[in-house]
Structure formats: structure tokens, C-alpha cells
Amino acid sequence: MSLDLIQAIRAQSKLHISQAISLVENQKVEANQLLSDLFKYTGNAFRIGITGPPGAGKSSLTNNLLASFRGNGRSVAVIAIDPTSPFSGGAVLGDRIRMKTHHSDDHVFIRSMATRGARGGLAIQSEQVGEIFDAANFDIIIYETVGVGQIELDIIQAVDTVLVVLVPESGDEVQMLKAGLIEIGNIFAINKADRPGSNKLMISLKNLFSNFTYDDTTWKPAVIHTIATEGIGTTDLLESIQKHQSFNKSKGVRGQKYTDRYYRRVHSLVNEKFHQTFWDDEKTKLLQCEMKKKPQEILKLAVKRMLPRGPLAKKQLTKLKIYKGTSHPHESQNPKIINFAKINSKNQISVN
């Protein structure tokens, strides 16, 4: 990868950072080499994830935090995960609408990423974009998600501090929130706290967290009232974020999170390589042909709940000579499936 591009990214050139992000989003071959070259410059940025149901005021809170961090002289990058436009396929909210007052700031970079109906792929790409911002010397990286689905939970795993934004109307839904979100949330902001029910929600959350077991290495979630449109609660929110950052450093949590991210990234790269290598055009066409042979019969059985998906998948794999009925359904006579990833004597994985 061009040394000039690396140096320009390190100097926070918005043009070159945009070019690097486009390489990642478009899954260009050059992206992998670029990320490898930038890797030695990463590991310094503090990453914050902001999630919560649509309409909770996540963007307003993100904007307030962005202004506060800049007031303290810290550079900030924002990755805003947006729903996809059905017409353009791009992010429907777009970074021109979001936080537009900060676009002229040389030390602020805001990037919208469209979901495009993706799942794990988006989580991987957003983490890669975060690595670019990290290498570009941004002090703070904020991930703002569009909701609280599996995509969001996957993305949030890439951060150091998780901020969950709720509204008073969420009071009756606390018990129905995804368990994973409750478990990974570090700070809970009850936004629009001037509405009825905000105190009740705060009590409910605090009672919920009081049932958990804590020790010296476990952070007890903070619950804060905010009114983002008026800037109320931003100072308390920023203070809680800074306390959690200090806690992570002092207890070694940040280092463990970095290690976990590293492991997940290697795991996802290996999985991605297996998928790309195994599902070539020939196998994909074979599977499609098999599924199209008796579509009405399959549909009829599926509607009547008489044909579980597992046995059907096993049947198709058998026809494709992928599954032989052994305990290893991914065995194949195709040598590529087992040869592209090799483990040497030092247990180091090399991907061809």
C-alpha cells in the first residue's frame, strides 16, 4: 500500500480517510493490505457505542457528547449506522443531515454506513472503519447504531463503553429488552426525562442492577437522566463515560476487550475465507438447481411445518457430495476446503 496514503491517513486527511473507508466498504482487494499496514498504529482510540430503540434520541446525545469532547480538545470520529434507502441503497439519514454543525471541524469525521440488510458483514466493516480512524489518531470513536437488533449487538462488541439510550415509555419494556443488551450496557441514559415515567424507569433499572453480583473487577452500570434537546444531563453522562474509561484501564478490562476484539476478528476472517473458498459458483448453482426441482412440494411441506430446515439442508448437502453422514458435515473431497488455512508448529494460522 502507498506510503503516501498511510501518512495522509495518519495526518487526518479527510480526503484520504474517505478513500480508505471506501476501499473497505466496497470490499476492494487493496483494503486488506491497507488494514494490515495500519494495524501497528491502532489500539489508542477510546471507543464508545451508543445504542437503543429508534426515536430514543441517540443522534442528539451523540451530538452533545461530540461537542463536549471537542470542548476538551479531543478529536472525534463518528460511525453512524443508518437504515438503507430502498432507492439508492445508501444510508437514508446520511452524514450531511447528522451533526452538520461539526463538518467544518478538521478534527471531527462523521461517516454514515448503510445496513443494506446485512448482519455480520456490517459489524466487520464498521470495526474495520474504526481501525482506520484509530490509525488516523482520533482520540474518540463513537459508534451510533440504528436500533437494538443483532446487527447492533455485534457492532457494540467492538467498543470499550456501551451507552444504552432509553425513553420513559420504555418502562414496561425493560424486562423484554434483549438480555445481551442489559449485560453489555455500561451506562443507561433515560432520555426525554421530562416525560412522565422517567423516575419509575430509573428505579426499575437500578433495582434490576442491584440483583447482579459485583466484585472489584465488575463495573456497576450507571443510570442517568438526560434531555438531549436541551443539553441537560450531558455533563453527568460525560462524567460517567470518563469514570468507566478509567475503570477499564485500572482493572485491565480495556486490554481484555482489545484481546477479545482481536480474537473475534481473526475468527471472522477465517470464517469468511472458508465461506468464499467453499461456496464457489459451481456449488452455488448446484444448490439452487436442487432447490428448484420441486419448489411447490417443498413449499407445501414447509407451510405445514412438516419439513424441518435441518434435514432438508442435510439432504441437499448429501446430494452435493458435501455431507456423508459423518459427524463432520463440512468435510469435502475438495482439497481447497482444508488446505487454505494451515496451522504451523507454532500454532500460527496462515491463510493463503
The CA distance from 27 to 98, in Å, is 25
Decide if 215 contacts 179 (C-beta within 8 A).
no
- What confidence score (pLDDT) does residue 322 get? 62
Q: Which residue's C-alpha cell is 436442487?
A: 290
Would you state the pLDDT for residue 343? 38
CA dist 49 and 61 (Å) reads 12
How many residues in total does the chain contain? 352
In DSSP terms, which residues pair with 313 in a beta bridge?
none
β-bridge mates for residue 48, sequence order: 142, 161
How far is the C-alpha of 157 from the C-alpha of 262, rounded, in Å?
11
Distance CA 224, CA 182 (A): 15
What are the angstrom distances between the C-alpha of 166 and each of 227, 278, 329? 11, 43, 43
Neighbours of 202 (CB within 10 A): 19
Q: Tens place of pLDDT for every residue, the chain, 352 residues?
A: 678 999 999 999 999 999 999 999 888 889 989 999 999 999 999 999 998 888 899 999 999 999 999 999 999 999 988 765 434 444 445 444 556 678 789 999 999 887 654 444 567 788 899 999 999 999 999 999 877 666 667 777 789 999 999 999 875 556 546 566 677 789 999 999 999 999 998 998 898 899 888 888 899 999 999 999 999 999 999 999 999 999 999 999 888 888 888 888 888 778 877 877 877 888 788 778 777 777 777 777 777 777 677 777 777 777 666 655 544 444 344 433 333 344 344 434 444 3
What global pTM score does this model have? 0.78
pLDDT score, position 266? 86
